[in-house]
């Protein structure tokens, strides 16, 4: 059975695996539970300086990644596994959510294009049907940090990476809610005590408290999520 594969197109392949080589993701990478490959976009430039960018038509500051160079890199990367969806990390993309992460993690992997400079020529994105994804309403210096975050989100729910699958079930967004607060020893710290219900040993009351706290936090911090939750089949109208 093929393993989940992330193939990253970048002009900075040395930025990988980075954090993906640490902790559970790194251990799973070493064990071959998932795979990470990089494609150096500069390797597809045709001049001796390995130029990947040029001035934008219409004027303006900055440079734009050339469609011919990026196209050659995508074609080479797709050639080994055409089933991988092409994702371009961009602030103008669809906001990434856990539902999209689950869908990507359930597939064969992802081909992730990391932009630099002012971006990538639109024609090559259109030609390859790239899916544009954003991590939020902010701008990074390039797509590589966003790619690492996207891949990490997917890899951690690939079967066999996290030991206890049930630990994923109550995380933020899995039920449309933010996660409830967590507490551990000592039971009293700086005159702050752990909520009594959590040391009561009454599992039903603990579950009820956690749900109530998740609902409270979601309602207070993310009214958009709360509205979807209350309108959904499992929420509270």
CATH label of the domain that carries residue 69: 3.40.1280.10
pLDDT in tens, 187-216: 999 999 999 999 999 999 999 999 999 999
Condensed to tens digits (0 to 9), the pLDDT of residues 145-176 reads 999 999 999 999 998 887 655 555 555 566 88
Residues 116 and 220 in one domain: no
The per-residue pLDDT of the chain, averaged, comes to 92
pLDDT score for 98: 93
Whether 209 and 124 map to the same domain: the answer is: no
Contact indicator for 13, 5 with CB cutoff of 8 Å: no
pLDDT of residue 160: 82
Question: b or e along 74-93 (b: 16 or more beta carbons within 10 Å of the residue's beta carbon)?
Answer: beebeeeeeebebbbbbeeb
Could you say which of 128, 155, 182 is where a domain stops? 155
pLDDT of res. 168: 55
Assess if residue 188 is contained within a domain: yes
Q: What is the tally of structural domains in the chain? A: 2
Same domain, 19 and 83: yes
Same domain for 22 and 139? yes
CATH assignment at residue 181: 1.10.1270.20
For the chain, how many residues are written?
Answer: 237
**Does the pLDDT value for residue 227 go beyond 90?**
yes
β-bridge partners, 89? 133
Do 149 and 194 fall into the same domain? no
Using DSSP's 3-state secondary structure scheme, residue 27 falls into helix
Q: Is residue 164 part of a domain?
A: no
236 within some domain: no
Q: Is residue 163 part of a domain?
A: no
Sign of CA dihedral 169, 170, 173, 175: positive
What is the pLDDT averaged over residues 4-24?
Answer: 97
Q: Which of 8, 147, 9 is nearest to 70 (CA)?
A: 9
Q: What is the mean pLDDT of residues 74-87?
A: 91
Using alpha carbons, select from 138, 133, 139 the residue that is nearest to residue 153: 133
> Which residue reads 């958009």 in tokens?
224
Co-location of 109 and 198 in the same domain: no
Record the pTM.
0.88
CA distance 190 to 193: 8
Q: Which domain holds residue 99?
A: 4-155
For residue 4, count other CB atoms closer than 10 A to its CB.
24
- Picking from 36, 43, 59, 70, the residue whose alpha carbon sits closest to that of residue 158 is 36
**Are 135 and 194 within one domain?**
no
Q: Do 78 and 28 lie in a common domain? A: yes
Q: pLDDT category, 79, cuts 50, 70, 90?
A: confident
In angstroms, the CA 97 to CA 171 distance is 13
Domain match, 217 and 123 both: no
């Amino acid at each position: 059975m093929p393993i989940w594969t992330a193939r990253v197109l970048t002009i900075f392949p040395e930025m990988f695996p980075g954090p993906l080589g640490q902790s559970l993701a790194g251990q799973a990478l070493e064990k071959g539970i998932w795979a990470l490959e990089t494609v150096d976009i500069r390797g597809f430039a045709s001049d001796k300086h390995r130029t990947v960018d040029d001035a934008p038509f219409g004027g303006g500051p900055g440079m734009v990644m050339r469609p011919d160079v990026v196209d050659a890199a995508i074609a080479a990367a797709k050639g080994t596994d055409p089933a991988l969806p092409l994702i371009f990390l961009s602030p103008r993309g669809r906001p990434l959510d856990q539902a999209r992460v689950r869908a990507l993690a359930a597939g064969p992997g992802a081909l992730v294009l990391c932009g630099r400079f002012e971006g990538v020529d639109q024609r090559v994105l259109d030609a390859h049907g790239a899916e544009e994804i954003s991590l939020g309403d902010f701008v990074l210096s390039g797509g590589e940090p966003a790619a690492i975050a996207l891949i990490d989100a997917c890899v951690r729910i690939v079967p066999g990476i996290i030991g206890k699958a049930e630990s994923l079930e109550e995380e933020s967004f899995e039920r449309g809610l933010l996660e409830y607060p967590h507490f551990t020893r000592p039971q009293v710290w700086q005159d702050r005590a752990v909520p009594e219900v959590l040391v009561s040993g009454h599992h039903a009351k603990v579950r009820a408290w956690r749900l109530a706290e998740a609902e409270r936090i979601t309602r207070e911090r993310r009214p958009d999520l709360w509205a979807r939750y209350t309108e959904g089949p499992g929420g509270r109208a």
